[in-house]
Structure 1
Amino acid sequence: MIPDTAPPATDIDAILRGQHGDPFRFLGMRLASETGPIVVNVFAPDASEVEVIDAKGKSACKLELINSEGFFHAALGRRKKPFPYRLRLRNPQGHEWEMHDPYAFGPVLGEMDEYLLGEGRHEEIYRRLGAHPMTHEGVEGTSFAVWAPNARRVSVVGHFNAWDGRRHPMRRRGATGVWEIFLPGIGRGETYKYEILGTYGHLQPLKADPVGFAAEVPPETASVVHGMVRHEWTDAGWIEARRPDQRADPISIYEVHLESWRRGDGNSMLDYAALAEQLIDYLTEMNFTHVEFLPVTEYPFSGSWGYQPVGMYAPTSRFGSPEDFAAMVDRLHGAGIGVIVDWVPAHFPSDAHGLARFDGTALYEHEDPRLGFHKDWNTLIYNYGRREVANFLRASATYWLKELHVDALRVDAVASMLYLDYSRNEGEWIPNRYGGRENLDAIDFLKGVNETARHYAPGSLTIAEESTAFPGVSRPVSEDGLGFDFKWNMGWMHDTLEYMSLDPIHRKYHHHQMTFGLVYAFSENFVLPLSHDEVVHGKGSMLGKMPGDRWQKFANLRAYYGFMWGHPGKKLLFMGGEFAQEREWNHDQSLDWHLLDDPMHDGVRKLVRDLNALYRATPALHRRDCSPEGFQWIEGGDADNNTFSFLRWADDGRPVAVISNMAPVVREGYRVGLPLEGTWREVLNSDASDYGGSGVANGTIRATGEGMHGQPASAALTLPPLGTIFLSPE
């Protein structure tokens, strides 16, 4: 060893203690000074000998072990500049291996990446952050990059380095706070995490990759080297055919929790391939246009149903690989079925391996719990005002829509994002800069998500689960709205379910709960949701909410579904509701498919199937879902008879009349006004015997010129008990 090239003891000590913040300045091959010589520093605690091998495979020098913990050093006096090399190592047992030195490689990220990352405008951030298998400087390996601006040191750890954070500390990229390293020889399938020395000198719990593309199967929590999804898509025609404005399209959504929709032998979960095959058959038979998955972004706790995610870029590994998920989406598109996924940017769990205090500080969340903690869910709230955090989330939306070909994101818990005082008492929240309760950063963030989605994934949709009267949720950003395409109509759902739960004798006093929704039905572009939230936490099943004896329960539910499918707004029904599951949903077991052996349950299923078919085939039932011109009351005030009648219109001038009798009695000679004289046909009746009903029907009806209800014609009908009928003019 040349004496004056001996590495500083402080650097060696920092490497050995895992506290070196600039390893690329010290490790690897470099000039000791402008005039040389070349020195090589290697930390290899499992080696007893280390040798430098040049490009021709010849030994350039042997390194000297200058610290018993595995620090090696050498100076090459005859070499004038660094050269390509490998390391040959030998352990005390005589085992010998060769490897590329990670500290011989230049950075992967470029100056433009640094600039965009620093500005929070890298809308495809997933192409740079995370773990990417690649060939770099002619060598195969994996590039790792992670944002941890307040860390003193960040290392990649895994089985490949005995989970020892001293071995592969990363390079910090300037002021961006991003750390990166290229590890040669590391490929797909390797498990890894990040070991982070926090800003105050404390080691954080090992962290999963925030931009990891795959993860171990829970309850294991490591990220898996995978890279962006690789799938040969066959759905180009489907993607190109999507229209930017889908308000006039029939949209009927089947909401599914993949873990519990169906299970295999021994209550085992199905994989993505089996789910795709069985879902396609079922959705096609049932005439649903879309399937919506409860969150499939990787989540550690199954009991959260996915609503506490830790992997915003990783389809859950419970059912297979990211490619398996992509293949399922592709197959669904091939069958003409749109795919919606629940996406959760409102909060994240405090699991130690997740985002919480990621670099020793409140990085993704707020330091102040009045801004950063959800008491209801014991979760942390993203700091939307931090440009890097907003960028991280926007890019996640882009990844699912653009790279995984998802057709729509249903954005969870938007109300909790919009208001600083959401579920908080006085003194438990901090007003915005104007003294108000609106979360201005979250509002800007949501607008940005929706604008970005339109740019990077044309024809995709965003749907807000928003339960307040916040204005303009589904109005374009250019018109000072939030920019969502649709919004869940939570008010309609609560009002109508409350009405339907009443004994019919009391319903006339609550008639407005079925009609009030039409006061504001066109203030937003609405989806009518009967979602998973209505069949959990002691709320029972949809069937269980209905009053009366067993026959009346089924009849009430069928009549309600008829009313819903006739009502303006897109449709959403949670799995099991379509065949009147009797017990409350349990996420740990399959739906009760055996109930379809019962004609009453199968009758509800047939009704939903036929409602979907009628809805899709009839322009009047969907073309003007979001326009007041598409709806007209015939008689909305007949509270004494518990009846509702209205018209749906399309631009072709052919109306559909919908009449619901929410009383358990037959109403003979019930006259309703109609816009056209002549023959009308009953195209669907929820009381049909095939659906389990009493079979009270009208068949064809003759509308005469006797005006009524402001219409030029009218007809006398027989209204079935607890039934909804649809009439169409011949």
Structure 2
Amino acid sequence: MAPATLPPEAVAALVEGRHGDPFALLGPQPGADGKPWLRVLLPGATAVAAITADGAAPLALTHAAGLFEGPLPADKPYRLRIDWSGTVQEAADAYSFGPLLGELDLHLLGEGAHRDIGRTLGAHPMTVDGVSGTRFAVWAPNARRVSVVGDFNGWDGRRNPMRLRHGPGVWEIFLPDIGPGTIYKYEVLDPNGAILPLKADPFAWQAEVAPATGSIVADTAGFRPPAPLPARSGPPASQPISVYEVHAGSWMRGDGNRELSWEELGDRLIPYLTGMGFSHVEFLPVMVHPFGGSWGYQPLGQYAPQAALGPPEHFARLVERLHEAGIGVILDWVPAHFPTDSHGLARFDGTALYEHADPREGFHQDWNTLIYNLGRREVRNFLIGSALHWLETYGVDALRVDAVASMLYRDYSRKHDEWVPNIHGGRENLESISFLQELSRIIEERCPGKLLIAEESTAFPGVTRRADEGGLGFDFKWNMGWMHDTLHYMEMEPVYRQYHHDGIAFGLVYAFSERFMLPLSHDEVVHGKGSLIGKMPGDDWQKFANLRAYLSFMWTHPGKKLLFMGGEIAQHREWNHDRSLDWHLLDQAPHAGIQRLVRDLNRLYRDIPALHARDCEEGGFRWVVLDDRQNSVFAYLRLGPEGTAPALVVCNMTPVLRQGYRVGVPLGGSWREIVNSDAAIYGGANNGNGGMVHAAGAASHGLEDSLDLQLPGLSTIVLTPMEG
């Protein structure tokens, strides 16, 4: 006997895709006599039958929109035989499966505390009751209906509406016979009953190649995390960290100017990194982003690598290959904002869900993007889950958090009447500060040894202090002040540098207030800023000499190192994300000399403890010559752990060869010149000290002994005492 007749309004809501609880009407339902009754909605089908071990039981068409129903023979597993106007399909019924998310999952999602959210929400292949398929789950608490759509259901949102789990506002469904490689989106009915533009899955592990915007079911169950990077001795602050910053799509291009795949990139990049001696590679954001011109800094897919370079498992293999070569992997990660594309997070369920509703808090004027509402626990959970996803699932070694300054201040880049004060009336963004602290605590707990690096351009206190001590909890902070001051100094004609002596010196006033990384990043070679070599003054010879002196100064200055690709070959033109680097320049001696110098600087930085072990300690640095403004000469000592030799660094930032320049040293005897940026092998004039100089036995600069040096013009030299 059939169940009670459905009210016409319920039938209308169901067939029109407006019903918020499809599982209450579809699938097996109790009949009036207690026997099962089956109801299915299959728009476009001409006939449907339930197939059990006892045979086929035809269902009657009860609504022209494709509603079929009838008795279900016995209480046995069944499949549906569907006639699509002559094409017959047999499939399991999605509405025969119960909910799959457990009560603990729902509780943690509601609390914003689900640490495995990336394996809970999204699309995950699995087997349920012996049937293979995919569980879909998405957070959309204000939607009236959410459906999974794709080729498998003709992109018809009426076919597979999902079940709402009311507590956390999560919709879920298990779709049988759907597996890895399936393209899908979500169709969302907003609170007003309007159908939104189809949405990509915020938690998808794989996406279509742009400009397509679909999500792809990935083989999450069979995904194998990469092998970790071999452990390195000592805390990160004492390690020689030298980072090569890379835009994966333009470091090197293939035939026809095509982007290399992850596999091809690994074949070429890994030998280059090892040959150059970099300890880490940092990729501009590899997360799915709809516009290539954003370089990844406007991401939408926080759980999926950019599809154009290959599937997720290929990116994971690249990480593993880098680890096998001893190279750490850093990813740029963007939790500050996201683009307004209609298929993305913007008004995801018809309301300001991931973003703030008030544009004074939720819209970033500089970048035309939306700002994450970090006061909402579910949004924090989404982002922290993303961070853990890259650190754990892909095994990367560090995240460099982009645009931290924009997160810390509510009035960032806003006029006085364009922002909302915090609850205390101040400008600090308390929600963002709390989020960053929570992020650092969780990573410290779950991912010991993994690093957080901040791109933070203000004097906000305690960026690299532990969160439990009141700081933000980052391991390193980009030293943007050092970069701006020193580049401004180097851009000046040498004759004027004496009037701007503090451009080099000022960074040491605060160099140990945080654990710093010195960045010469992509931001300095875009938007009309030219290239590093292009910033250097003088004729062609002086430009190269200036750059060699500057890079040598950077590698001997306290702080970890970061150099954007192309800087090591002195590329003339500004970086273009649609073109390969100008590798042909290495056929010219001056460019090859810069590359050789960077390689040797990396080796010395790694091999000489004085140059790295106390990068973040005030006791690891001492000025020797600070006040010689007239000659634009600087000299300083780098000091390593007890029992290791010091290194003396002398910079001459004018094109004048200086003879007999006396510099104090703490030890007598012979000192070896281990770096001379003016050496002929680097393209210089080969002036210097012949590789060796002997202490004169006379005190100078408050030190017991001194060296009588020849300082090449526009150069940096490094000397260490000979053993014995």
TM-score (norm 2): 0.98
- For structure 2, the residue ranges without an aligned partner over 5 or more in a row are none
- 1:443-458 mapped onto 2 (5 Å cutoff): 443-458=433-448
In structure 1, what residue type is equivalent to 2:634?
A: F
In the alignment, which residue of structure 1 is the partner of 2:108?
116
Listed one character per residue, the Cα deviations across residues 25-81 of structure 1 (whole Å, up to 9, x for unaligned) are: 110012145x52422111112321111112x2522x2211011221111135x85xx
- 1:7-406 mapped onto 2 (5 Å cutoff): 7-32=6-31, 35-54=33-52, 56=53, 58-59=55-56, 61-76=57-72, 79=74, 82-93=75-86, 95-228=87-220, 230-232=222-224, 235-236=227-228, 238=229, 241-242=231-232, 245-406=235-396
In the alignment, which residue of structure 2 is the partner of 1:410?
400
2:703 is aligned with 1:711 = yes
**Distance across 2 between alignment mates of 1:476 and 1:147:** 32
In the alignment, which residue of structure 2 is the partner of 1:483?
473
| Contact map agreement 1:410 1:462 (CA 8 A) in 2 | yes
**Distance across 2 between alignment mates of 1:139 and 1:291:** 43
Listed one character per residue, the Cα deviations across residues 547-567 of structure 1 (whole Å, up to 9, x for unaligned) are: 000000000000000100010
In structure 1, what residue type is equivalent to 2:178?
A: I
2:412 is aligned with 1:422 = yes
Tell me which of 510, 528, 536 is aligned to 1:520: 510
1:357/1:233 Cα in 2 relative to 1: closer, same or farther (>3 Å)? closer
Listed one character per residue, the Cα deviations across residues 193-219 of structure 1 (whole Å, up to 9, x for unaligned) are: 000001121111100000000000011
- For structure 1, the residue ranges without an aligned partner over 5 or more in a row are none
Listed one character per residue, the Cα deviations across residues 397-426 of structure 1 (whole Å, up to 9, x for unaligned) are: 000001100000000000000000000001
| Deviation at residue 230 of structure 1 after TM alignment | 4.3
| Contact map agreement 2:457 2:479 (CA 8 A) in 1 | yes
Listed one character per residue, the Cα deviations across residues 525-551 of structure 1 (whole Å, up to 9, x for unaligned) are: 000000000000000000000000000
In the alignment, which residue of structure 1 is the partner of 2:665?
674
In the alignment, which residue of structure 2 is the partner of 1:722?
714
1:551/1:67 Cα in 2 relative to 1: closer, same or farther (>3 Å)? same
SS of residue paired to 1:341: strand
| Deviation at residue 244 of structure 1 after TM alignment | 8.2
Listed one character per residue, the Cα deviations across residues 442-469 of structure 1 (whole Å, up to 9, x for unaligned) are: 0000111111112222211010000000
TM-score (norm 1): 0.97
Listed one character per residue, the Cα deviations across residues 127-178 of structure 1 (whole Å, up to 9, x for unaligned) are: 1100001101211000000000000000000011111000000000122100
| Deviation at residue 242 of structure 1 after TM alignment | 4.9
Q: Tell me the C-alpha RMSD between the 2 structures.
A: 1.3
1:494/1:669 Cα in 2 relative to 1: closer, same or farther (>3 Å)? same
| Contact map agreement 1:49 1:63 (CA 8 A) in 2 | yes
**Distance across 1 between alignment mates of 2:242 and 2:54:** 65
In structure 1, what residue type is equivalent to 2:84?
A: N
| Contact map agreement 2:226 2:395 (CA 8 A) in 1 | no
**Distance across 2 between alignment mates of 1:31 and 1:91:** 28
**Distance across 1 between alignment mates of 2:567 and 2:236:** 25
SS of residue paired to 2:167: helix
| Contact map agreement 1:229 1:403 (CA 8 A) in 2 | no
In the alignment, which residue of structure 1 is the partner of 2:616?
626
| Contact map agreement 1:242 1:460 (CA 8 A) in 2 | no
| Deviation at residue 311 of structure 1 after TM alignment | 0.2
In structure 1, what residue type is equivalent to 2:352?
A: A
**Distance across 2 between alignment mates of 1:388 and 1:258:** 31
| Contact map agreement 2:347 2:353 (CA 8 A) in 1 | yes
| Contact map agreement 2:26 2:39 (CA 8 A) in 1 | yes
SS of residue paired to 1:53: strand
Listed one character per residue, the Cα deviations across residues 83-132 of structure 1 (whole Å, up to 9, x for unaligned) are: 32111122332x32211100000111000000000000001101110000
In structure 2, what residue type is equivalent to 1:49?
A: A
**Distance across 2 between alignment mates of 1:298 and 1:364:** 17
| Contact map agreement 1:153 1:198 (CA 8 A) in 2 | yes
1:316/1:665 Cα in 2 relative to 1: closer, same or farther (>3 Å)? same
Identity of aligned residues (%): 59
| Contact map agreement 1:131 1:227 (CA 8 A) in 2 | no
**Distance across 1 between alignment mates of 2:107 and 2:38:** 32
SS of residue paired to 1:300: coil
1:7/1:37 Cα in 2 relative to 1: closer, same or farther (>3 Å)? farther
| Deviation at residue 234 of structure 1 after TM alignment | 6.2
| Contact map agreement 1:128 1:145 (CA 8 A) in 2 | yes
SS of residue paired to 1:430: coil
Comparing 596-605 and 9-18, the one that deviates more: 9-18
| Deviation at residue 235 of structure 1 after TM alignment | 2.6
In the alignment, which residue of structure 2 is the partner of 1:658?
649
| Deviation at residue 3 of structure 1 after TM alignment | 6.3
| Contact map agreement 2:2 2:71 (CA 8 A) in 1 | no
In the alignment, which residue of structure 2 is the partner of 1:694?
685
**Distance across 2 between alignment mates of 1:438 and 1:459:** 30
In the alignment, which residue of structure 1 is the partner of 2:590?
600
| Contact map agreement 2:2 2:37 (CA 8 A) in 1 | no
| Contact map agreement 1:244 1:460 (CA 8 A) in 2 | no
**Distance across 1 between alignment mates of 2:614 and 2:222:** 39
1:325/1:584 Cα in 2 relative to 1: closer, same or farther (>3 Å)? same
